[in-house]
Amino acid sequence: MGSCKSRVADVYENNETILEVIRNQTIGAKSDYEGPFGRKTMIYCDYTASGRALQFTEDYITEHVLPFYANTHSTSSATARITTRYRANARSIIRKCVNAGVDDEVIFTGAGTTSAIHKVIHSLQLNDPDVASQTIIRIKDTPSGEINYTDLTRLLVDCQSRYSLIIGAFSAASNITGILTDTDAVSAILHSYGALAFWDYATAAPYLPIDMNPRTELSHKDAVYFSPHKFIGGVSTPGVLVAKHAVFRNPVPEGCGGGTVQYVFRTKHGYSQSIPEREEGGTPAIVGSIRAGLALQVKAMVGETNIEERDNYFCRMALRKLRKHPNIVILGNTKARRLPIFSILIKHQSSKKSLHYNFVARLLNDLYGLQVRGGCACAGPYALDLMGISEEDIDEIYGHSARGHRKDGKGGIPWNLIKPGFVRFNLAYFLTEETVKYVLHAVSMVASHGWRLLPLYKPDIKTGEWNHRTFKPKWQQLGEELHVLKSSKPGSKHNRHKEGNISVEISLSVEVKKQSKWNVRTRRFFILGYICDDQGTTVFRTKISLSVEVKKQSKWNVRTRRFFILGYICDDQGTTVFRTKDQVKDTSILYAKESSANRVPGNLEHGRHFVS
């Protein structure tokens, strides 16, 4: 674990710097959109559901991974060997970050935690219907919202004499309340009665340490599963299962495919003895697996202690603001240890009735640009407990809905309109304090005045969504902005790059970073580094030295090291590597063509090569 955490010192001098980098390079962080009340700058508060992409991660993949991309089921070619090495690097990063031991395996699987759980079920051969129907026992909570150890111990004693296999499956952090569980203490209790300890880290993994093998006796974990797509920089990554060898009891892999077998003859076959090879059949999500390793590396670079401190600070800020509002109900015990994840109900002050969660989420979107989520967060029974809805209550509510599905169409209310739920948002550790204050102000304002806007909105009875009555958003169709494809058509009027027919038609102020040198007389500069626009988007990047000439009306400011491009840049051979035309708003991106013949890809584990 220590070596994984220490890389932040290699690249950044202090924690604030890396947080600024994450904020500035989150793709879409400064995006805006048109709503019924004008244009709004987007503020993403839904990291509990899914993370967002980082520009420097995507740059790394574009420059180091994709040029050598190949299938990993061979190492005979340079590309296959390099890609296999990168994926092995990613697995190694994850092993270090979860303190995996020699008895632990790291498996990439499917599209998230769900796939990892299915993998565990199959590995333990529990997917048989007779086995799957065995008893499920819920453990009581303490008044503070934590697991009741006394009740857990009592039930384990009872189960020990009745069942040959006992599995304790718990969440390290609730995705509704953010309340934390002491994983070491619970694991020790489970193991003392012969039970397996399985931990869902889907919510906790981006923020908390994951320790498969703590020093405390009996507190090891038998399996941990999480979704790297919930990490900042983890978009489009597979699920991760980390489990002890003993968990993999299946002689046949869950999904057969390429790479799972050691040999196949006409009448016989044998499966691989390597658990990762056997359980990752077929062509895996290669780039996604590599990106998963990078996402965990970003977390390690920030430092788990730093993340915890900021999480605690934002929790205190939010609870001070939200608890004193008479119309806001915070689900869960607000005094328990928790992540800054908040699920709330908003009441109408006079009637004390709750506003529909999708209406509240829509108002936060339309008025303030907040991206939040309404619903039950895939945790139905726990959500009912938190909202104080009994089994009789939910039967009655669903009964009203069920009558609405009769063939004669009489009676009943569509289920999506009356399904219990709440609004959930989280405050990611890399947000600024000013942004957090803005989010809390927005929630408070909607809690105070949101009901006044009910006449402007109407619900969709099929989906349960609420939409403005008159505003119709204009959605782009997929592919409308693929300028690269359009410009490569024969007869295109766009200016073209010599190789690849790529055009870049922009006029913008850019900053030359690192060791770039400008010669006013010759209007030439020496590039080593990258150029980015005012929003921090990289528009021209090179890791080699290029002597480049700026033509036409480009203006250079020696003091600020900035220039205004109107024209094009070409290298010594006359090849255009960055081009603009007129003053249009198209901000297409063109990466500099690099000579890669003699370049050896950097190791994913070297942080200084990862982040420019």
Question: Where residue 128 sits, what CATH number does that domain have?
Answer: 3.40.640.10
Does pLDDT of 514 surpass 50? no
At 496, the pLDDT band (50, 70, 90 cuts) reads very low
Same domain? 512 vs 551 = yes
335 against 257, higher pLDDT: 335
Q: What is the CATH number of the domain that holds 333?
A: 3.90.1150.10
Nearest one of 287, 210, 205, 232 to 50, comparing CA atoms: 232
Q: What is the pLDDT of residue 597?
A: 32
Q: How many CB atoms lie within 10 A of CB 470?
A: 7
At 282, the pLDDT band (50, 70, 90 cuts) reads confident
**Would 534 be classed as within a structural domain?**
yes
Same domain? 502 vs 438 = no
Does pLDDT of 552 surpass 50? no
At 410, the pLDDT band (50, 70, 90 cuts) reads low
**Would 20 be classed as within a structural domain?**
yes
Same domain? 221 vs 329 = no
The residue-averaged pLDDT of 258-275 equals 73
Same domain? 120 vs 37 = no
Q: Tens digits of per-residue pLDDT, 187-234? A: 999 999 999 999 999 999 999 999 999 999 899 999 999 999 999 999
Does pLDDT of 608 surpass 50? no
At 258, the pLDDT band (50, 70, 90 cuts) reads low
Among 148-152, 280-284, 304-308, 389-393, the least confident range: 280-284
**Would 350 be classed as within a structural domain?**
yes
**Would 36 be classed as within a structural domain?**
yes
Does pLDDT of 5 surpass 50? no
Q: Distance between CA atoms of 338 and 506, rounded to whole angstroms?
A: 46
Q: What is the pLDDT of residue 190?
A: 98
Q: What is the pLDDT of residue 540?
A: 53
- Strands 196-200 and 167-171 come out as parallel
Q: What is the pLDDT of residue 256?
A: 67
Same domain? 443 vs 494 = no
Does pLDDT of 165 surpass 80? yes
| Domain closes at, from 250, 270, 302 | 302
What percent of the chain shows pLDDT beyond 90?
A: 53
* Domain range enclosing 138: 69-302
Same domain? 289 vs 307 = no
* Exposure class string for 160-172: b at 16+ Cβ within 10 A, else e: eeeeeebbbbbbb
Same domain? 42 vs 77 = no
The residue-averaged pLDDT of 353-375 equals 97
At 553, the pLDDT band (50, 70, 90 cuts) reads very low
Q: Distance between CA atoms of 161 and 153, rounded to whole angstroms?
A: 13
**Would 397 be classed as within a structural domain?**
no
Does pLDDT of 268 surpass 60? yes
Same domain? 309 vs 295 = no
Does pLDDT of 402 surpass 70? no
Same domain? 320 vs 227 = no
Domain count, the chain: 3
The CA distances from residue 299 to 64, 205, 436, in Å, are 20, 10, 20
The residue-averaged pLDDT of 436-454 equals 98
Nearest one of 163, 142, 161, 162 to 151, comparing CA atoms: 142
Q: Which residues pair with 531 in a beta bridge?
A: 512, 540
Among 354-363, 397-406, 422-431, the least confident range: 397-406
Listed in sequence order, the DSSP H helices in 8-62 are 8-11, 15-25, 55-60
**Would 60 be classed as within a structural domain?**
no
Mean pLDDT of the chain: 79
Residue 218 token pair: 């009996």
- For 186, which DSSP code? H
**Would 604 be classed as within a structural domain?**
no
Does pLDDT of 412 surpass 50? yes
127 against 321, higher pLDDT: 321
Same domain? 343 vs 447 = yes
At 492, the pLDDT band (50, 70, 90 cuts) reads very low
Q: Does the predicted TM-score (pTM) go above 0.85?
A: no
**Would 46 be classed as within a structural domain?**
yes
Does pLDDT of 239 surpass 80? yes
Same domain? 86 vs 188 = yes
Burial (0-12, 13-18, 19+ Cβ within 10 Å), 462: exposed
Same domain? 122 vs 253 = yes
Q: Tens digits of per-residue pLDDT, 289-301? A: 999 999 999 999 9
| Domain closes at, from 302, 331, 355 | 302
| Domain closes at, from 276, 302, 328 | 302
Does pLDDT of 480 surpass 50? yes
Q: What is the pLDDT of residue 257?
A: 66
Q: Which residues pair with 106 in a beta bridge?
A: 242
- Strands 196-200 and 568-570 come out as unpaired
Q: What is the pLDDT of residue 570?
A: 54
Q: Tens digits of per-residue pLDDT, 539-548? A: 555 444 444 4
What percent of the chain shows pLDDT beyond 70?
A: 70
The residue-averaged pLDDT of 479-492 equals 53
Q: What is the pLDDT of residue 248?
A: 87
